Structure 1
Amino acid sequence: MKSDISDGLRQRPFSQPSLQRPELLAPAGNWDCAKAAVENGADAIYFGLDRFNARMRAQNFTEADLPQLMTFLHRRGVKGYVTVNTLIFPKELAEAQQYLRTIIAAGVDAVIVQDVGICRLIRHLSPDFPIHASTQMTITSAAGVEFAKSLGCQLVVLARECSLQEINKIQQQIALQETSLPLEVFVHGALCVAYSGQCLTSEALGGRSANRGECAQACRMPYDLIADGEVVNLKDRKYLLSPQDLAGLDVLPDLVKSGVTCLKIEGRLKAPEYVANVTRVYRQALDVVMTELERPNPLTPFPTREGGIKTPLSAMPNGRLTPTERGWGRGQSNQEHYNLEMAFSRGLYTGWFGGINNQELVHARFGKKRGVYLGEVSRIHNEEVTVKLEAPVKPGDGIVFDYGHPEAKEEGGRVYGVVCKGKESVLTFGRNDLNLRRVHIGDRIWKTSDPELDKQLRQSFAGENPQFQRPIDLEVYGEVGQALIAIARDQLGNIIQVESVISLQEAHTKPLNTGRLQEQFGRLGNTPFSLGTLTNHLSGAIMLPVSELNRMRREMVAQLEELRSQPKRWELRSDVSFQDLLPSSSPLSPLSPSLIVLVRNLKQLQTALKAGVETLYCEFEDPRAYRDAVQMVRQLRQQSPLPTIWVAPPRITKPGENWILQQVRACGADGYLVRNYDQLQFFATDRCIGDFSLNVANPLTADYFQENFGLERLTASYDLNITQLQDLLTSCPPQWFEVTIHQHIPMFHMEHCVFCAFLSTGTDYTNCGRPCDKQEVKLKDRVGTEHILKADIGCRNTVFNGTAQTGAEYVQRLIELGLRQFRIEFVNETPEQVSKTIHRYRQLLQGEITGSQLWRELKLQNQLGVTRGPMGVSALRS
């Protein structure tokens, strides 16, 4: 009988809920953060080790921590994902391979990856170990999901710039194409202004590559806006590239209904209190949303935990909330929004979930943490500050006075006393705590610290006993003369069975009914479990001593904990190596070095044609102008078979933007400079060259693109310095590559439109008046460099480094290694500058001048691509 019951239960499937509950994924930069996440309801955490992760400034874990950390997580029913989300250079492949073997053997649940070659290596080492495609892979479409699947990925983290509408469209398209993979989205935290994986700003300005986990956050710095040579007076708006922090709390119903599998919280550099705070808010909110959406009529208003009524976003016009409806307007904070603002806030906004609104995404008034807005100073008298409070404040709270210059030292301190006087409140401070002579009427006041909240948050993950419990479902069977059988299942699918050592007896009083079973089996304090549903299948009025029920409960807990803590046994091949995937070498090309010129307007193109350039690339804002460019080249070709013209589509392609690619192809160019996964697919039957945005940094990545897409050449990643570039050229056939040796580095590439946000009152391209067509705009940084701003056909902006960079001094070494294709790029240079530059680089390639001579003459920054400081043999980056 026991065997029949057990076998039948194991085979019977659970009924599936109508809506999938997304996994809540929290960040962990150290052990305390990991505990904070677990004790506040995270379903999984993601963390980096001491190499190859995109948050190298975090404390991070070590490889030696992995066994203990994974045991802790799994015992608590939480998954652990390791970030290996940086580009990997050729000489690092051996180390990366050993690193991956350690991760796989430790039973980690998945690894989050940016580098295409590393995806290949993982799948070569293990056929079943899960790979998650990082947001650093810049996936914005169904074609990107399909690309990730071809690499062996099991999940895709979408770019943060994807709206709810676009997420739904991607879901529909991948379902139709049968390439469906689970999708993960960021739901809260710092919002990068540039597309992840496409930001070269930190590298260009300070040698700290975002693609190597060393972002210096140049987007959070102040800039002046210069339009047509004049500084635009934006008053206190200086932080033109610093978005408000992402908060998807009020779009949770829509995210769940979109079918996303995982909701990710940003913050591996944040404190454990932040992790505890934000994780708890989203855990509770998600539970409420799931309850609401599973109701018969989920569009009706539902009660909040605060006792109010909340209307789901899905019932709002256009799926959008006003600032007041979001609860973030002054005086409108409920507890959830208060907690999120106190956790860390540059202002909270739904980011791109609701579509593009350039007026709201970036308020531009500060780029650092503020907290909760309290109001404006109305009076200062006798060491007292009067304010009409718009949020609660109490003694002990920390505040700061904001007078519109966040780059300067600001006055602030702890509140000593709060006295209400009618509609106003008087704040007092400890003697000598702050200098009130530096505080002004009209200054904004922000609460930056709440010690009472911090104490509560720390208590949530203090101590050794579990504080967050996850439900287990129980089924109980038995009849007189037989053992009591209890079968327990957790949410992860683990199942165990315990039996009583005492037979069930007929009960004359107090039989084991459902209530008594729930009482005894529900005593799960100080364990990771709580009792979920209990199904009573007992036959007749029967009894069992309480002591035996307690023993069964303890055994049930022990068995479940033991079962959970077993490490995942992924297949790991011992007889394979990354060397198996390296491409074959080939003889060096006897051809002479060739100069490729990329131009960004027709005047530059005309100049390059006059200079006799054989290979031309065009990257214009309006692809319709490509027809004129191609025609210009065709007319010249009537006299000669050369030159060839290649045109570039925009760097990003989103759902519904194939019309742009069709417009590009309509020009009839000789080939296309492809930048993303959609373009690899769309131009599959055309001649194509892979641009730098494909992030080719090692031979495994290069081989994948060459073998699978038939590209004529690849542009080496701009993250490579000269030594790493040499390593790439010696590990692959050098004729696969071209190298950009002169350019204004494209630093930021972003969905945020600076033209629209600060030179119009419009929200997007439909109502901005297109100032990008009328004005030349630059952004001046703190050291006075004026960086060039350009828009593309999709209204995405690129900020180009104002200082051109050259790798001229290394050209001869690259030629000796077999490289034959050298690219130079122009942005806003005059025809005269274009002509002079082309002439000098042609002389360089022909050996008529040295790289040092060219550099001195053109007065350029002596760099190849984007590297750390002036490049020299003794100052190469490791």
Structure 2
Amino acid sequence: ARVKPLVEAADPVYTRPVTAHFMGHVGFPPALTLTDEHGHSVTATLPDPLGEARNRALDEAGLREQLGKLGGTPYHLQDLTTDLSGAGFLPVSALNALRRDAAAQLTALRAQAPERRTAPRLDSTLAALPRTERAPVPATPQLHVLVRTPEQLDAALEGRPDSITLDYLELYGLKPSVERVRAAGIPVRVASPRILKPTEQNLQKFLQSLNAGILVRSGGLLEGLQEQRGPDSGGPDSGGQESGGAELTGDFSLNAANVLTTRALLDLGLTRLTPTHDLNAQQITELAGLVGGQHLEVIAYGHLPVFHTEHCVFCRFLSSGTDYTNCGHPCETHRVALRDERGHTHPVMADVGCRNTVFEGRPQVAAPHLGAWLRAGIRDLRLEFVHETPQQVTGVIEAHRAFLAGDLSAADLQATLDTLSAGSGVTEGSLFVPHDFGTLDALPVL
């Protein structure tokens, strides 16, 4: 009953303020100009000149009464100014027609797409596009580890990777873990939620207050971080770091699938960027050749996120509550997984906004493709953990380190990771490259 008047309203429920200016000079066509709160302005005129009044002439009070009759339109009259010369007369019907014409023009103008400025590139091919290097390519590959529980963090600290990213459910429990990583002398990052709603802007302030690097997962957060940067803090020479700010790394959810998107995102101040999961391993190699492998941070081990939803299965099945205010937060004390028809279990994780992500149960590994990635200049590899035990975290880190040191072949690395998966096996997942990838069937000549 409360919603019906809103969704079935005959007239607009909300109207926007407009200012009106009426020009009426005897002997000249009258004109009405309407301007909205964003500065959009239109002018409507009548074809015939304004005649002289025999009895009552046009005045501001009468004009305000007639021009303020904007019922049925998305506007209301906020202010009126007039420019009258002589004792002019205008029938009410003509004044109403003038008002309707101006309102229709304003509505049409507001519906137009905004003008966007573009900066055309001078080079004719992507290969010819110059790019200043952000940082020298590291001599040795870097291992970055993402953990989601304090127990996994303990194992990661012992493995001493080149950085540790904290992707905790409860953001406000991050600070002690950030301090632990920093005290161990290891660079630390915190992962943002994949969605940042208008009411969740405080999350940005909290993430920045940790003085750690940020794994940026949403365009909204990336735009919000731009507002905190000075005019000279972005661009390809900035190293992806604001003056006195945190290092920013873009995650897969920013959907960098080609050279144009990748460069556009890097130019917004990102140090590195993880390609979207829509690319297979060969396409990632090709992207590295176009933008420079040092600008990419690829996921060498992780669980593919296959479903992301507002629905919280923890609240639905593990509590009698309806939302975070009364569910008792079972997500903080329980582990949940979905079992498919083959018996495979797929982990479910909640984020700080109570949104749930379902992950592929088998870890996706890049072992067969690491050699090509390294030859393409990629030096930053990320290992992501979901429900892995501390022992599995340790084993995965050690196996990749042994491969990078030349002590394990790609086949041995894959076999080791398969053993560590505790029976679930591993998969190439989205990285799989079909044997005929990149070829087109010959089309018949008609």
Post-superposition offset of 1:626: 1.6
Q: Tell me, yes or no, if the aligned pair for 1:627 and 1:667 is still in contact at 8 Å.
A: yes
Q: Which residue in 2 is equivalent to 1:857?
A: 416
Q: Which residue in 1 is equivalent to 2:259?
A: 699
Name the SS for the 1:794 alignment partner: coil
Q: Which residue in 2 is equivalent to 1:579?
A: 125
Post-superposition offset of 1:848: 1.9
Name the SS for the 1:747 alignment partner: strand
Q: Which residue in 1 is equivalent to 2:27?
A: none
In structure 1, stretches of 5+ residues that fail to align are 1-248, 256-287, 296-492, 494-534, 538-569, 638-642
Is 2:205 the partner of 1:662? yes
Q: Which residue in 2 is equivalent to 1:847?
A: 406
- When residues 763 and 809 of structure 1 are mapped into structure 2, their CA distance, relative to the original with a 3 A threshold, is same
Is 2:220 the partner of 1:674? no
Post-superposition offset of 1:730: 1.2
Q: Tell me, yes or no, if the aligned pair for 1:253 and 1:289 is still in contact at 8 Å.
A: yes
- When residues 812 and 718 of structure 1 are mapped into structure 2, their CA distance, relative to the original with a 3 A threshold, is same
User: Which AA in structure 1 matches 2:130?
Assistant: S
Post-superposition offset of 1:677: 2.4
Post-superposition offset of 1:290: 2.8
Q: Pick from 701, 715, 723: which aligns with 2:282?
A: 723
In structure 2, stretches of 5+ residues that fail to align are 16-41, 43-91, 95-114, 227-241, 419-424, 440-446
User: Which AA in structure 2 matches 1:681?
Assistant: E
Q: Tell me, yes or no, if the aligned pair for 2:319 and 2:328 is still in contact at 8 Å.
A: yes
Post-superposition offset of 1:294: 9.7
Is 2:143 the partner of 1:608? no
Post-superposition offset of 1:618: 0.9
- When residues 767 and 845 of structure 1 are mapped into structure 2, their CA distance, relative to the original with a 3 A threshold, is same
User: Which AA in structure 2 matches 1:834?
Assistant: V
Q: Tell me, yes or no, if the aligned pair for 2:304 and 2:360 is still in contact at 8 Å.
A: yes
Q: Pick from 114, 121, 137: which aligns with 1:589?
A: 137
- When residues 717 and 582 of structure 1 are mapped into structure 2, their CA distance, relative to the original with a 3 A threshold, is farther
User: Which AA in structure 1 matches 2:313?
Assistant: V
Q: Which residue in 2 is equivalent to 1:289?
A: 9
- When residues 696 and 582 of structure 1 are mapped into structure 2, their CA distance, relative to the original with a 3 A threshold, is farther
Post-superposition offset of 1:603: 1.8
The two structures have a TM-score, normalised by structure 1, of 0.34
Post-superposition offset of 1:250: 9.1
Percent identity, aligned pairs only, is 35
Q: Tell me, yes or no, if the aligned pair for 2:336 and 2:347 is still in contact at 8 Å.
A: yes
User: Which AA in structure 2 matches 1:290?
Assistant: A
The two structures have a TM-score, normalised by structure 2, of 0.64
Is 2:178 the partner of 1:630? yes
How do 1:747-786 and structure 2 match up within 5 A?
A: 747-786=306-345
Q: Tell me, yes or no, if the aligned pair for 2:309 and 2:356 is still in contact at 8 Å.
A: yes
Post-superposition offset of 1:625: 2.3
**For the residues of structure 2 that align with 1:601 and 1:536, how far apart are their CA atoms?**
72
**For the residues of structure 2 that align with 1:780 and 1:747, how far apart are their CA atoms?**
14
Post-superposition offset of 1:585: 5.3
Q: Which residue in 1 is equivalent to 2:293?
A: 734
**For the residues of structure 1 that align with 2:427 and 2:162, how far apart are their CA atoms?**
26
Is 2:167 the partner of 1:619? yes
**For the residues of structure 1 that align with 2:124 and 2:309, how far apart are their CA atoms?**
35
Q: Tell me, yes or no, if the aligned pair for 1:649 and 1:675 is still in contact at 8 Å.
A: yes
Q: Which residue in 1 is equivalent to 2:379?
A: 820
**For the residues of structure 1 that align with 2:307 and 2:290, how far apart are their CA atoms?**
30
**For the residues of structure 2 that align with 1:861 and 1:615, how far apart are their CA atoms?**
24
- When residues 849 and 253 of structure 1 are mapped into structure 2, their CA distance, relative to the original with a 3 A threshold, is farther
Post-superposition offset of 1:873: 5.8
Q: Tell me, yes or no, if the aligned pair for 2:159 and 2:394 is still in contact at 8 Å.
A: yes
Q: Tell me, yes or no, if the aligned pair for 1:713 and 1:735 is still in contact at 8 Å.
A: yes
User: Which AA in structure 1 matches 2:426?
Assistant: Q
Q: Tell me, yes or no, if the aligned pair for 1:585 and 1:733 is still in contact at 8 Å.
A: no
How do 1:306-705 and structure 2 match up within 5 A?
A: 579=125, 583-584=129-130, 589=137, 591-637=139-185, 643-669=186-212, 671-684=213-226, 685=242, 686-705=246-265
**For the residues of structure 2 that align with 1:704 and 1:574, how far apart are their CA atoms?**
13
Q: Pick from 410, 435, 438: which aligns with 1:874?
A: 435
- When residues 580 and 803 of structure 1 are mapped into structure 2, their CA distance, relative to the original with a 3 A threshold, is closer
Name the SS for the 1:289 alignment partner: coil
Post-superposition offset of 1:682: 3.8
User: Which AA in structure 1 matches 2:306?
Assistant: M
User: Which AA in structure 1 matches 2:377?
Assistant: G
How do 1:58-137 and structure 2 match up within 5 A?
A: none
Q: Which residue in 1 is equivalent to 2:360?
A: 801
Q: Deviations over 1:179-225 (max 9, x none)?
A: xxxxxxxxxxxxxxxxxxxxxxxxxxxxxxxxxxxxxxxxxxxxxxx
Name the SS for the 2:435 alignment partner: helix
- When residues 749 and 293 of structure 1 are mapped into structure 2, their CA distance, relative to the original with a 3 A threshold, is closer
**For the residues of structure 2 that align with 1:250 and 1:576, how far apart are their CA atoms?**
57
Q: Deviations over 1:606-665 (max 9, x none)?
A: 21111121211110001122211122123222xxxxx20011121111112122233333
**For the residues of structure 1 that align with 2:335 and 2:128, how far apart are their CA atoms?**
46
**For the residues of structure 2 that align with 1:754 and 1:578, how far apart are their CA atoms?**
51
- When residues 649 and 582 of structure 1 are mapped into structure 2, their CA distance, relative to the original with a 3 A threshold, is farther
Q: Tell me, yes or no, if the aligned pair for 2:399 and 2:416 is still in contact at 8 Å.
A: no
Name the SS for the 2:165 alignment partner: strand
User: Which AA in structure 1 matches 2:149?
Assistant: N
Q: Tell me, yes or no, if the aligned pair for 2:305 and 2:358 is still in contact at 8 Å.
A: yes
User: Which AA in structure 2 matches 1:772?
Assistant: C
- When residues 581 and 660 of structure 1 are mapped into structure 2, their CA distance, relative to the original with a 3 A threshold, is farther
- When residues 728 and 578 of structure 1 are mapped into structure 2, their CA distance, relative to the original with a 3 A threshold, is farther
**For the residues of structure 1 that align with 2:203 and 2:390, how far apart are their CA atoms?**
28
Q: Tell me, yes or no, if the aligned pair for 2:280 and 2:433 is still in contact at 8 Å.
A: no
List, as ranges, runs of 4+ consecutive aligned residues in structure 1 with deviation greater than 6 Å. Answer: 573-578
Q: Which residue in 2 is equivalent to 1:714?
A: 273
- When residues 580 and 819 of structure 1 are mapped into structure 2, their CA distance, relative to the original with a 3 A threshold, is closer
Q: Deviations over 1:140-196 (max 9, x none)?
A: xxxxxxxxxxxxxxxxxxxxxxxxxxxxxxxxxxxxxxxxxxxxxxxxxxxxxxxxx
**For the residues of structure 2 that align with 1:575 and 1:760, how far apart are their CA atoms?**
56
What CA RMSD, in Å, does the superposition of the two structures yield over aligned residues?
A: 3.3
Q: Which residue in 2 is equivalent to 1:475?
A: none
**For the residues of structure 1 that align with 2:434 and 2:164, how far apart are their CA atoms?**
32
**For the residues of structure 2 that align with 1:768 and 1:668, how far apart are their CA atoms?**
32
Q: Tell me, yes or no, if the aligned pair for 2:311 and 2:356 is still in contact at 8 Å.
A: yes
Post-superposition offset of 1:666: 2.9
User: Which AA in structure 2 matches 1:644?
Assistant: P
- When residues 872 and 634 of structure 1 are mapped into structure 2, their CA distance, relative to the original with a 3 A threshold, is closer
Name the SS for the 1:596 alignment partner: strand
Q: Which residue in 1 is equivalent to 2:32?
A: none
